[in-house]
Copies of this chain bind each other. A is one copy, B any other.
Amino acid sequence: MNSDEKHYLAHYNSKDYPAPIYTVDTVIFTLHESELLVLLVERGNHPHKGKWALPGGFVNLEQDLDINETALRMLMAKTGVEAPLLEQVATIGNPTRDPRGWSVSTLYLALIPYTPVQQMLDSVTDVVWHPLNAVEKLDLAFDHLKLIEMATQRLQSKTAYTALPMHVLKKPFTLTQLQQAFELLLNKKLEKKSFRRRILNANLLTEVGESVQENGKGRPAALYEPSPKLDQYAFIRVFGG
């Protein structure tokens, strides 16, 4: 770096230039009692105070080492758990999505096993799991309904060629539980034999014992845990297509 550039940087102040607002938002999915749920928080501040919204917020310029950490920090604050899967979906920016002005948000998608969230009194704001099927009736803040749709779309298409839905289940799980997770995400019944053949041939599971049936009925099922290579794995053919 030459002295010319040093001089430039010494006098550079980003506040001298108009800039959009920048935030990070996350759609956190889980599965509970045969329902897909998304995490929503009640906004404690303006704008849209009192409405339901996605967990999200501004980058902490002192603490966050990158925007993934921004997303992880908020996820930890709202759920108290490390997400086994966090992945970027898209970035949306336009002048109308936030009443404060030109605004850009990077949207993340997270999958976690169900964990109750009522007693997470990290702040005065409410945090709830809300059924995905019913979010559209909710009058969400900003364009967050649209963001949830984008994340859902991404999750669905990834479900067709990866095994990511494993992340919404508590370990260990049975193949039947896993198939139900896939079916809920794809919104479509899958053929049992094809499903098992596909998943087992991928070598992403380790058998770790046998379950007992909850209601005592039927043959006990094998229990599995996913291997860490899960997130890198992609099938060469889509499922249910």
Contact = CB atoms under 8 A, between A and B. Distances in A.
Interface stretch (A4-12, A25-33, A34-42, A163-171): A4-12
Interface string A90-127: 11111100011110101000000000000000000000
Contact of A12 (B4, B100, B106, B237): B100
Given A19-B59, A20-B61, 15 more contacts: A1-B99, A5-B49, A9-B46, A14-B100, A14-B101, A17-B58, A19-B19, A20-B59, A22-B104, A66-B93, A67-B92, A88-B90, A91-B91, A236-B237, A236-B241
10 contacts: A1-B99, A4-B46, A9-B46, A9-B47, A15-B15, A19-B22, A61-B101, A67-B92, A88-B90, A106-B106
Contacts of A59: 19-20, 93, 102, 104
A91 B88 contact: yes
| Oligomer copy total | 2
A104 to B, nearest CB: 6
A61 B17 CA distance: 11
A212 interface: no
A88 to B, nearest CB: 6
A237 B160 CA distance: 11
Nearest to A238: B236
Nearest to A99: B9
Nearest to A97: B66
A18 B61 contact: yes
Contacts of A48: 5
B94 A67 contact: yes
A81 interface: no
Interface in A40-94: 46-49, 58-59, 61, 65-67, 70, 88, 90-94
Contact of A14 (B12, B19, B92, B236): B19
A130 to B, nearest CB: 23
A21 interface: yes
A72 B67 CA distance: 25
Contacts of A101: 14, 61
